[in-house]
Amino acid sequence: MNYASIRTCDIANGEGVRVSLFVSGCTHCCKGCFNEEAWDFAYGQPFTEKTESELLAALEPEFVDGLSLLGGEPMEPENQRALVPFLRRVRDRFGLSKTIWVYTGCVLETELKSPSRWRTEVTDEFLSLIDVLVDGPFIEAQKDISLQFRGSANQRIIHLR
């Protein structure tokens, strides 16, 4: 897996101060996407053990509330498989003291919990490791800049924990 960027002091992508990882690769290709360059799975840099260690260190300060995963698309099957071991490391190190938010263009009930190309052998574990899922594709016709932590009115903030 590659990643497009990392923000170590992000206040736009979840509650509080967050460390945000923007993964590469997305097949949703939503019209009006704010991060179109990250659709390419080869964009950015390889997600390595060193990257994981840097993210864990960035999560250490007490003022950091948690981790946000965005994209690209974290729920692309190959990205899920790469992220689950990292999410285990986050939980092993911080327990529930840091929240994990995931932004996906997938819909929880129809694409992640039901048979689909998005549902993999690690999807249930992935979902069990996160606190909040912001689901649904960005729909430009429903864009609403007044919405907190979402880009379009169809997207939902789902508290999984």
- Answer yes or no: is pLDDT of 58 > 80: yes
Report the SS3 class of residue 154: coil
| pLDDT for the residue 119 | 98
| pLDDT for the residue 98 | 98
Domain 2-159: CATH superfamily is Aldolase class I (3.20.20.70)
| pLDDT for the residue 100 | 98
- Answer yes or no: is pLDDT of 154 > 90: yes
Taking each helix axis as running N to C, give the angle between helix 49-59 and helix 77-94, from 0 to 180 degrees, rounded to the nearest 10.
40
Angstrom distance (rounded) from CA 47 to CA 85: 12
Report the SS3 class of residue 104: coil
Integer distance in angstroms from the first to the last C-alpha of the chain? 27
Residues near 87 by Cβ (< 8 Å), separated by ≥ 6?
100, 126, 129, 130
Greater model confidence, 71 or 92? 92
- Identify the band that residue 123 occupies on the pLDDT scale cut at 50, 70 and 90: very high
What is the pLDDT averaged over residues 113-122? 97
Q: Beta-carbon neighbour count of residue 161 at 10 Å?
A: 10
All structural domains of the chain with their residue ranges: 2-159
pTM of the predicted model as reported, rounded to 2 decimal places: 0.94
| pLDDT for the residue 36 | 73
Angstrom distance (rounded) from CA 52 to CA 49: 5
- The strand pair at 17-23 and 156-159 is best described as unpaired
Buried/exposed 113-123: b ≥16 CB within 10 Å, e otherwise: eeeeebbbebb
| pLDDT for the residue 37 | 82
Q: What is the pLDDT of residues 3-42, one digit of tens each?
A: 999 999 999 999 999 999 999 999 887 787 778 788 899 9
What is the pLDDT averaged over residues 41-61? 97
